[in-house]
Every structure is written in structure tokens, then in C-alpha cells.
């Protein structure tokens, strides 16, 4: 499901706009998940890049350092059509770094600049970040300003459905179809299997969440709910909903969850389990479920709601709106914008 096809929690669209008109309109800063040790065999680089995806940057840094790509670590993938700041680690056992001034890169619209560097004891693993800070510029904004600002206030107060964004489903949205073909026997490269399994899982989760949005229960409890602690993957329940849980839900300390499909029984029970089973009962969903189970994935859970932190906005001109906020790892800025309305990407992500 593309972002545009998913039901909105806050009502009908209040704007239409363009994003990614230039890379500078989509600025992402990785929020570090730890402090560097200052010593060790891994050179920790913070770089700013423009018009360059993470994979290309990792390959370029490996060539600069004279090491295999396996020696390069990074916490998360960042889009190409953007200005992004993120960390990379380079394993250099002799603790001798090449001249850092020779790492800066500029060719056409592509750019990479070293912002900070230090040493660290370990390779930077995937997911080793506290989240991402976004500064997004929307151009050609059409809509009533009062309605747009009220929608932004509602998003700040209530959050948004924690959908997987369209990036998970491939540039042309065909990762789910390719996953079905893989599960049916088509051979794919090893590195592509993980991507396609993730797309299949994301599709199933989005279907459950879309059902709960349509029924108005994406941020309220159902009987048999499984809860996730904010800022972690720890889950608990089901258990009777009481005043203590209600207070924790209202304060965003806990969130309702939906299934990331795999082997085993649903942890949810009662009304929550019935809705999840109903949402995933179609022929296509059953094929994706069977494929994920055959691959050996186990049942997991994901929070159904997402609360952008420090959400602010300002108008540069009558039709240019800048929106800034921070999100936890695994969350998508595009699903926040989708709650505003039809936001079209002029530049392509990659």
C-alpha cells in the first residue's frame, strides 16, 4: 500500500504540496545512539552528504580508506534525494587514517563532507541511533492555512498511525509482488530475500493498522490488546485495561501494537486478535503469511501509533511551509506528511 492509499486518522486532506523539489528541501540528521569511546580501531566519521544514498557513500569511504566494504559500518539507510548527516565507521586495525581532507567529495549535484571524526572501539551496527531529525520544506502548498495549522497541532498532540512508508515497498511499489513470487518459488539473490520479506511483513502490518484507523481504534485499546513500551521493543499483555494503563496510554508511555508476521500464535486475544485475523484473511495476505512462516520468521509486534517529537512549522512564503520534527528509528517522515494531505515527491528517493 502506498502512503496515498492508506486511510488518514485525522480526516480528509487539508493541503496539497510538493516535496523534494531540491535535496535541500529534505534534510535529515541522524540522532546518535551513543557517545564514542574516543579510542579503538574504528574511525567514526560524521558526514554530511547531498544527492548520495548510504550504499554509495559506504562504497566511496571504503575505497578512500583502502578497505573492503565489510569494514564499513552505518546505523541506518538514508535517501539519495536529500541532504543527510549520518555516521559511518571504518575498521582500521593499524589506527592510521588516510588524510581526511581527501575524503571530501563533490561531483555534479553529489557532495560528501566530513563534519566530525573520532575513534571508537566497535563497528557501528545497524540500528545504533536514537532516531532522526527532519527539516522538510513543502512548496506549492495549496490549502487553507488555518486548517493546515490545526492539523499540525492535532498531529503534535495525538500522533499519527505508525505505517511503514512507501520506501519499504520499492521505487515502483513492486516489492510485495516480488515477495509473493519468491514465496511461490522464484529464485532471488540472497541480499534481496531480506528486503522482500521485510516488504511482505510491512504490507501485512499496514493492512491491520489501516483497519484499526478505519474503525477509530489505532490509538485506543481493544480487548486483548498487546502493549509496547515507548522507545523500546518491549511488549506486555494482554491484561485488563484499567486506570493505570489508561494514564500510561494518554501520556504516550505505552502504545497499542499490531503483528509483524511470522511463525507462532498471535499474542493478542479477543477483539484485537479477531480484527488482526480478519484484516489478514484475504488470499494475497494468506500467501504472504505462509511465505513468511516458511522462511522461519517469528511473530513480533510493532507500535500502532507514532508521536513526532518537537514538531514545529513556519511559513517562508504564502505557499512554502517548513515542517520540522524528530522520529524514533524505524519510523517514516512521509507517513507524518501523509496526514496533512497529498504531498508529491518531485525528486525520487533512492
Contacts of 251 (CB under 8 A, 6+ apart): none
Would you say 221 and 230 are in contact if contact means Cβ atoms under 8 Å apart? no
Backbone angles phi, psi at 44, to 5 degrees: -100, 115
Helix extents (H) in the chain: 54-65, 145-158, 175-183, 190-214, 243-250, 270-279, 283-294, 333-338
What are the cell numbers at 213? 484507523
Strands 83-91, 72-74: pairing kind: antiparallel
Would you say 324 and 343 are in contact if contact means Cβ atoms under 8 Å apart? no
DSSP conformation class of 295: T
Place of cell 538514508: 78
Closest CA to 330 of 309, 297, 303, 293: 303
Q: Specify whether 79 is catalytic.
A: yes
Distances (CA, A) of 229 to 34, 273, 305: 20, 20, 12
Distances (CA, A) of 215 to 96, 126, 210, 211, 212: 59, 35, 9, 6, 5
List the catalytic residue out of 3, 79, 271, 342: 79
Distances (CA, A) of 141 to 16, 45, 343: 6, 37, 9
Length of the chain counted residue by residue: 350
Buried-exposed string 306-330: b where 16+ CB fall within 10 A, e elsewhere? bbbeebebeeeeeebbebbbbbbbe
What are the cell numbers at 243? 486506570
Rounded distance, CA 137 to CA 135, Å?
7
Cite the active site residues: 79
Amino acid at each position: 500500500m502506498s502512503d496515498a492509499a492508506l486511510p488518514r486518522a485525522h480526516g480528509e486532506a487539508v493541503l496539497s504540496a510538493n516535496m523534494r523539489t531540491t535535496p535541500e528541501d529534505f534534510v535529515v540528521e541522524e540522532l546518535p545512539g551513543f557517545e564514542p569511546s574516543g579510542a579503538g580501531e574504528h574511525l567514526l566519521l560524521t558526514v554530511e552528504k547531498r544527492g548520495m544514498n548510504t550504499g554509495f557513500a559506504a562504497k566511496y569511504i571504503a575505497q578512500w580508506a583502502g578497505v573492503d566494504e565489510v569494514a564499513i559500518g552505518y546505523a541506518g539507510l538514508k535517501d539519495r534525494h536529500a541532504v543527510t548527516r549520518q555516521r559511518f565507521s571504518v575498521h582500521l586495525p593499524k589506527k592510521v587514517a588516510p588524510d581526511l581532507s581527501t575524503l571530501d567529495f563533490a561531483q555534479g549535484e553529489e557532495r560528501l563532507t566530513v563534519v566530525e571524526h573520532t575513534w571508537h572501539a566497535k563497528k557501528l551496527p545497524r540500528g545504533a541511533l536514537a532516531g532522526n531529525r527532519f527539516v522538510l520544506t513543502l512548496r506549492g502548498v495549496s490549502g487553507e492555512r488555518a486548517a493546515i495549522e490545526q492539523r499540525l497541532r492535532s498531529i503534535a498532540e495525538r500522533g499519527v498511525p505508525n505505517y511503514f512508508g512507501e520506501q519499504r515497498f520499492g521505487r515502483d511499489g513492486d516489492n510485495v509482488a516480488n515477495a509473493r513470487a519468491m514465496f511461490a518459488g522464484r529464485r532471488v539473490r540472497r541480499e534481496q530475500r531480506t528486503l522482500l520479506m521485510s516488504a511482505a511483513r510491512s504490507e501485512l502490518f499496514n493492512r491491520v493498522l489501516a483497519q484499526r484507523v478505519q474503525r477509530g481504534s489505532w490509538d485506543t485499546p481493544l480487548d486483548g490488546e498487546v502493549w509496547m513500551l515507548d522507545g523500546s521493543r518491549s511488549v506486555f499483555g494482554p491484561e485488563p485495561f484499567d486506570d493505570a494503563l489508561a494514564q500510561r496510554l494518554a501520556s504516550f508511555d505505552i502504545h497499542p501494537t499490531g503483528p509483524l508476521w511470522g511463525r507462532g500464535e498471535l499474542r493478542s486475544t479477543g477483539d484485537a486478535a479477531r480484527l488482526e485475523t480478519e484484516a489478514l484473511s484475504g488470499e494475497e495476505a494468506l500467501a504472504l503469511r505462509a511465505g513468511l512462516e516458511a522462511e522461519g520468521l517469528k511473530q513480533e509486534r510493532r507500535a500502532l501509533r507514532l508521536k513526532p517529537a518537537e514538531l514545529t512549522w513556519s511559513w517562508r512564503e504564502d505557499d512554502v511551509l517548513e515542517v520540522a520534527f524528530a522520529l524514533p528509528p524505524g519510523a517514516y517522515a512521509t507517513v507524518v506528511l501523509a496526514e496533512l494531505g497529498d504531498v508529491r515527491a518531485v525528486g525520487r528517493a533512492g
